[in-house]
């Protein structure tokens, strides 16, 4: 009894020795994975922020370049309002999202604008006017446009006459245009992109009106981090007490003093992490169960391994048998080739009949086909069936085998009905069937004899083929073994020839029967279904 308890205790200790490291490693891996996922989220959001910042920079840069081109052309027009308006109209066609293009003199008076739907306003007190007059291209906002009356972003550039700043050219872009470009950006299910200026004003936020009343942007950790970032970009987690907690990734623009921020609520990230955590816990539980099963059925596993070794040994033996089968299948055409070569050698002084050479080439091709079939033996490919005239097919075979029969003084005879019906089959495979059967008959006859092939119709649905010889016959106890793998009565045979023959006949929906009596020969009877026209 104590022995049984000690054995159970040993098993429990063994399980604990395995489970404790597994659980510990699982926890550490889970912790590392959570950190990796969090860093991956931050990196992904930073990449989105950079791409967004590049897009906005390119957008603003295109307007700056346009204004520089306008500033170059304005002095050439010499304050002609109509010509200036026409110039601005042409420019606006390429920038349809802009609400106003304008030209102002050094006193802030508008010389021209397009569209020209509103009264002129003086802009001398605007910071974007002052900055441009100081020889700088300026981007600022948001402002309430004095001409259009809507919230705008303003871009201005100076123009020169006689080497001095004579005024400015400018464009007003509705704030809604930039908002629309950012509002389509979504991170996960509830993340978003926002934008603020370095002087502490939101340019866009999905809760902009609410934040204007409840938040002082310039006092937030995010704003301070953006101003302090030496590289112009960074990431910051939620502030203490922030609800809902959010992860912020920010990038400062190069074309304007603005900051692009990608915001992702951590609740969404935490939900993803919880899913990963429970999934990993489930995997750990499965792993533990798997280990227990392995320990419980270790002896069974040993038996399975032993069985696998036996199967591998059997497969190796089968490879050797198949190699012998390949030799058997190739021997038939080689024998035909040898017979024709011997005939050629016996008639050295006579011209070589073309038929001999053609037959030899055909048999070489057949050897190649047999090798190809053996290569794909483990993965048979579909065959193409066609209409077959058995009389013609067997005549061709007799021409091939004839020389071998002549050498053994064996008479080959084909007896066919005149109205023999056609069947449906694959010519090369059927040729292989009848070559095997006729060759077996010839080889079974010791010296002198006959092999007769009878072709007859059995009604309108079956064509019967009989291969009859007067060889030694097959013992009754061996008849049922014919066609089974590796059964043979020949000293050097493998049985694969008849095995392949039986398989081909089955694939052609045929039937094969054997009648044999020792000392009186053997007859193979094969029934094929007649070709039907659908």
Residue 486 main-chain phi, psi, to 5 deg: 70, 15
End-to-end, the C-alpha distance of the chain in Å comes to: 80
User: What's the pLDDT score for residue 484?
Assistant: 62
Report the C-alpha gap between 283 and 25 in whole angstroms. 13
Question: What average pLDDT score do residues 61-79 get?
Answer: 86
Q: What does the pLDDT look like over 313-341, one tens digit per residue?
A: 655 655 565 566 567 667 778 888 888 88
Report the C-alpha gap between 83 and 127 in whole angstroms. 27
Range in 294-298, 328-332, 476-480, 485-489 the model is least confident about: 485-489
Report the C-alpha gap between 318 and 338 in whole angstroms. 30
Q: Quick one: CA torsion of 99, 101, 107, 111, rounded to 10 degrees?
A: -120
Place 274 in a pLDDT band, splitting at 50, 70 and 90: confident
Whether the Cβ atoms of residue 158 and residue 167 lie closer than 8 Å to each other: yes
Helix (H) or strand (E) holding 22, with range, is helix 2-77
How far CA 290 is from CA of 7, 19, 190, in Å, comes to 21, 11, 40
Q: Does the predicted TM-score (pTM) go above 0.95?
A: no
- Of 51, 72, 62, nearest to 94 by C-alpha is 62
Place 528 in a pLDDT band, splitting at 50, 70 and 90: very high
Q: Quick one: CA torsion of 46, 47, 48, 50, rounded to 10 degrees?
A: 90
Report the C-alpha gap between 521 and 515 in whole angstroms. 9
Residue with tokens 């346009």: 66
Domain boundaries, the chain: 320-529
Report the C-alpha gap between 277 and 281 in whole angstroms. 6
User: What's the pLDDT score for residue 378?
Assistant: 47
Q: Is the pLDDT of residue 174 over 50?
A: yes
Q: What does the pLDDT look like over 180-217, one tens digit per residue?
A: 777 777 676 777 777 777 766 777 666 655 565 556 66
Q: What does the pLDDT look like over 102-145, one tens digit per residue?
A: 999 999 999 888 988 777 888 898 888 999 999 888 988 788 88
Whether the Cβ atoms of residue 488 and residue 414 lie closer than 8 Å to each other: no
Q: Are strands 462-469 and 449-458 parallel, antiparallel or unpaired?
A: antiparallel
Residue 187's SS3 state is coil
- Partnered with residue 415 across adjacent β-strands are 454
User: Class of the 320-529 domain?
Assistant: alpha beta
Report the C-alpha gap between 154 and 174 in whole angstroms. 9
DSSP of 209-250, one letter per residue?
HHHHHH--GGGSHHHHHHHH-TTSEEEE-PPTT-SS-EEEEE
Reading the block at residue 373, the tokens are 């079939």
Residue 387 main-chain phi, psi, to 5 deg: -70, 130
Within 10 angstroms of residue 116's Cβ, the number of other Cβ atoms is: 16
Q: What is the CA radius of gyration of the chain?
A: 47
Q: Is the pLDDT of residue 261 over 90?
A: no
Within 10 angstroms of residue 499's Cβ, the number of other Cβ atoms is: 20
Report the C-alpha gap between 484 and 116 in whole angstroms. 100
Report the C-alpha gap between 73 and 292 in whole angstroms. 85
447 vs 508, more confident: 508
Among residues of the chain, what percentage have pLDDT more than 70?
76
Residue 246 DSSP code:
E
Residue 374 main-chain phi, psi, to 5 deg: -70, -35
- For the chain, the residue count is 534
Whether the Cβ atoms of residue 175 and residue 141 lie closer than 8 Å to each other: yes
Mean per-residue pLDDT of the chain: 79
Place 376 in a pLDDT band, splitting at 50, 70 and 90: very low
């Amino acid at each position: 009894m104590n022995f049984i308890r000690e054995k159970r205790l040993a098993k429990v200790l063994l399980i604990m020795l395995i489970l404790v490291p597994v659980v510990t490693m699982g926890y550490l891996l889970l912790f590392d994975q959570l950190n990796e996922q969090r860093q991956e989220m931050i990196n992904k959001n930073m990449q989105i922020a950079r791409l967004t910042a590049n897009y906005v920079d390119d957008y603003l840069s295109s307007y700056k370049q346009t204004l520089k081109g306008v500033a170059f052309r304005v002095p050439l027009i010499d304050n002609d309002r109509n010509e200036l308006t026409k110039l601005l109209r042409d420019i606006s066609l390429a920038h349809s999202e802009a609400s106003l293009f304008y030209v102002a003199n050094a006193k802030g008076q508008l010389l021209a604008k397009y569209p020209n739907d509103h009264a002129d306003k003086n802009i001398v007190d605007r910071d974007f006017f002052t900055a441009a007059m100081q020889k700088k291209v300026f981007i600022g906002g948001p402002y309430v446009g004095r001409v259009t009356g809507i919230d705008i972003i303003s871009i201005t550039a100076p123009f020169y006459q006689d080497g001095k700043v004579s005024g400015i050219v400018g464009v007003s872009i509705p704030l809604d245009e930039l908002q629309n470009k950012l509002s389509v950006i979504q991170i996960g299910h509830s993340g978003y992109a926002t934008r603020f200026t370095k002087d502490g004003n939101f340019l866009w936020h999905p809760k902009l009106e609410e934040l204007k009343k409840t938040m002082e942007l310039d006092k937030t950790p995010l704003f301070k981090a953006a101003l302090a970032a030496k590289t112009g970009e960074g990431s910051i987690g939620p502030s203490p007490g922030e609800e809902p907690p959010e992860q912020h990734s920010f990038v400062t623009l190069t074309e304007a003093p603005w900051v692009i921020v990608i915001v992702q609520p951590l609740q969404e990230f935490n939900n993803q992490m919880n899913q990963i955590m429970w999934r990993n816990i489930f995997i750990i539980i499965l792993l533990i169960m798997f280990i227990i099963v392995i320990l419980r059925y270790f002896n069974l596993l040993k038996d399975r391994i032993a069985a696998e070794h036996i199967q591998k040994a059997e497969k190796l033996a089968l490879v050797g048998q198949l190699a012998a089968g390949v030799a058997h299948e190739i021997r038939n055409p080689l024998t035909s080739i040898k017979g024709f070569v011997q005939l050629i050698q016996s008639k050295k002084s006579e011209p070589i009949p073309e038929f001999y050479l053609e037959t030899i080439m055909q048999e070489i091709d057949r050897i190649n086909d047999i090798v190809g079939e053996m290569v794909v033996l483990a993965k048979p490919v579909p065959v193409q069936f066609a209409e077959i005239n058995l009389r013609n097919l067997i005549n061709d075979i007799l021409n091939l085998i004839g020389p071998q029969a002549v050498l053994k003084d064996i008479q080959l005879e084909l007896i066919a009905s005149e109205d023999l019906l056609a069947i449906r089959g694959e010519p090369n495979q059927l040729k292989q069937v009848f070559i095997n059967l006729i060759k077996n008959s010839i080889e079974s006859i010791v010296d002198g004899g006959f092999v007769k092939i009878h072709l007859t119709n059995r009604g309108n649905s079956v064509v019967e083929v009989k291969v009859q010889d007067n060889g030694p016959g097959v013992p009754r106890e061996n008849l049922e073994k014919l066609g089974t793998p590796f059964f043979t009565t020949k000293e050097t045979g493998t049985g694969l020839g008849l095995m392949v023959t039986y398989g081909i006949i089955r694939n052609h929906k045929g039937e094969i029967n054997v009648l044999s009596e020792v000392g009186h020969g053997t007859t193979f009877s094969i029934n094929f279904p007649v070709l039907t026209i659908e």
